[in-house]
Structure 1
Amino acid sequence: MTILLLGLGLFFGIHTIPMFPSFKASLQSRIGTMRFKGIYSLIALSGFALILLGMSRAEFRPLFAPPAWAPLIATLAMPVSFCLLVAAYVPNNFRRVIRNPMLSGVFVWALAHLIANGDLASILLFGLFGSYAVVDIISVNRRPPAAIPARQPFLMDVLVLAIGFAAFWVVRYFHVALFGVPVV
Structure 2
Amino acid sequence: MTLLIVGLVLFLGIHSVRIIPGLRDGMVKGFGPGGYKLLYSLLSITGFVLIVWGKIEAHPTEMVWDPPVWSRTVALIAVPLSLILLISTYTPGHIRHTVRHPMMLAVALWSGAHLLANGELASVILFGSFFVWSVMVLIPAFIRGGAPSTPPGWGGDVTAVVIGGLIAAALARFHLYLFGVAVIG
What range describes the TM-score normalised by the shorter chain of this pair? over 0.9
CA distances 1:90-136 after superposition (whole Å, capped 9, x unpaired): 12211111010000011110111011100111111111101111110
* CA displacement, residues 46-67 of structure 1 (integer Å, 9 cap, x when unaligned): 0011000011111421011010
Shift of 1:155: 3.1
Structure-2 change in CA distance of 1:144 and 1:116 (3 Å) = closer
In the alignment, structure 1 residue 124 sits paired with structure 2 residue 125: yes
Structure 1 stretches of at least 4 aligned residues deviating more than 6 Å after TM superposition: none
Amino acid at match of 1:113: H
Equivalent position of 2:72 in the other structure = 71
5 Å-filtered alignment, 1:161-172, equals: 161-172=161-172
Q: Aligned partners of 1:43, 1:25: CA distance in 2, in Å?
A: 17
The answer (yes or no) to whether the contact 2:3–2:50 under 8 Å persists in 1 is yes
C-alpha separation in 2, matches of 1:136 and 1:63: 26
**2:67 partner amino acid:** P
Take 1:123 and 1:143, find their aligned partners in 2: how far apart are those partners? 30
CA contact (8 A) 2:97 2:148 kept: no
CA contact (8 A) 2:88 2:156 kept: no
Of the structure 1 ranges 19-28 and 95-104, higher mean CA displacement relative to structure 2 is found in 19-28
Map 1:4-153 → 2, pairs under 5 A = 4-58=4-58, 59-146=60-147, 148-152=149-153
Contact kept? 1:56, 1:180, Cα under 8 Å: no
- Give the Cα separation in 1 of the matches to 2:96 and 2:104: 12
Separation of aligned partners in 1, 2:27 and 2:155: 41
Structure 1 alignment gaps of length 5 or more: none
5+ long unaligned stretches in structure 2: none
Distance 2:65 2:145 in 1: 41
| TM, length-normalised to structure 1 | 0.93
Give the letter aligned to residue 164 of structure 2.
G
Contact 2:79 2:113 in 1 (8 A): yes
Give the TM-score normalised by structure 2: 0.93
Q: Deviations over 1:19-56 (max 9, x none)?
A: 22412111111210111011111001100110000111
